[in-house]
Amino acid sequence: MSSVVKIFSGTNSHDLASQISLKYGQPLGELVIKRFSDGEISPRFEESVRGCEVFLIQSTCPPSDNLMELLLMADAARRASAKYVTAVLPYFGYARQDRKDKPRVAIASKLVANLLSAVGIDRLMTCDLHAGQIQGFFDFPVDHLDGSAVFIPYVESLGLDDLIFAAPDVGGVGRARAYATYFKTDMVVCDKHRKRANEVASMQVIGEVEGANVVIVDDMLDTGGTMCKAAEAILAKGAKSVRAVCTHPVFSGAAYDNISNSVLEEVAVSDTIPLTKPAPKVRVLSVADLFATAIRRIHEHESISNLFIQSS
């Protein structure tokens, strides 16, 4: 007999979780998250999860409190005798700290993987990790969904001619190439030099963009500094238009102003992270159906491979 699926949401992802639950065809589970006056978090399930497959939906942005909340939710589910616990992190925080790129620094994404293992999580579902190899930090299954499943149909709907895709930095070449391969078109790379974190000193475009409609592809948009400078550099080289698709709208610092004042025609993002205020140039595409379908297939022990848009 198949176990019952129950879907719960943390504080940060309630809107997305509600949509995922609706697409799945059942209401969100009852969960109360209490906060003490000093900020201490105390989650409590208001319904039985004994013997159930529990899916806990929580993006970790901002990372600290939301990650701690997820860990406590998982611990509570385990202590309430859930059969399986799957952590659904539409946005996986700390993914940028995935290696020791300078002396005496932490590898935060590995630490997060250890913490998720320590609380007894059986499976991770996430979308567009900053670096795909982070999956190797986990000793349990990872379902790494691809945001292109929602962005590629959107780009197709625009009907752009002379289409070229761009990587905003060298690290994003793989993503841009996947889109370019799917659309059978060219790609360019923006080479950036940083003075310090979140501050781009210079940018140059490698490749030809004259007369093209350019779409910049990235996994996340933080302050928007890199994206906006890349757009300026591309337009300066003769492009007809520049827009962007970015899975995770982190939008910290002056991101909203940077985007509003940029030469970008539009920035398409997903709802893995909720926007904190309206943004005229930002279009939000939902990943709710993608996650709901993946949850159903995992529960029914079916493959999720055809959820990915093949680029070859």
Q: Could you report the per-residue pLDDT of 83-140, keeping only the tens digit for each?
A: 999 999 999 999 999 999 889 999 999 999 999 999 999 999 999 999 889 999 999 9
Provide the pLDDT for residue 310. Answer: 63
Residue listed under structure tokens 């933080």? 222
In terms of residues, how long is the chain?
312
CATH of domain 148-285: 3.40.50.2020
Poorest-confidence range of 59-63, 243-247, 289-293? Answer: 59-63
Provide the pLDDT for residue 263. Answer: 97
d(CA 23, CA 87): 18
pTM: 0.93
What is the arrangement of strands in the sheet containing 84-89, beginning at the earlier edge strand?
A: 5-9, 53-57, 84-89, 123-127, 142-145
Active site (annotated) includes residue 192 = yes
CATH of domain 5-146+289-307: 3.40.50.2020
How does 89-123 read in b/e, with b if 16+ C-beta sit within 10 Å? bbbbbbbbbbeeeeeeeebebbebbeebeebebbb
d(CA 30, CA 303): 29
Provide the pLDDT for residue 199. Answer: 58
Closest CA to 109 of 88, 129, 85: 129
Helix (H) or strand (E) holding 220: strand 213-221
Closest CA to 164 of 174, 149, 176: 176
User: 63 falls in which pLDDT band (50, 70, 90)?
Assistant: confident
Provide the pLDDT for residue 201. Answer: 59
Q: Could you report the per-residue pLDDT of 204-216, keeping only the tens digit for each?
A: 899 999 999 999 9
CATH 3.40.50.2020 location in the chain: 5-146+289-307, 148-285
- The single residue of 100, 192, 195, 229 carrying the catalytic annotation is 192
Please give the average per-residue pLDDT across 15-32, as a whole number: 97
Q: Could you report the per-residue pLDDT of 225-277, keeping only the tens digit for each?
A: 889 999 999 999 999 999 999 999 999 999 999 999 999 999 999 999 999 99
Q: Could you report the per-residue pLDDT of 182-201, keeping only the tens digit for each?
A: 999 999 999 876 566 555 55
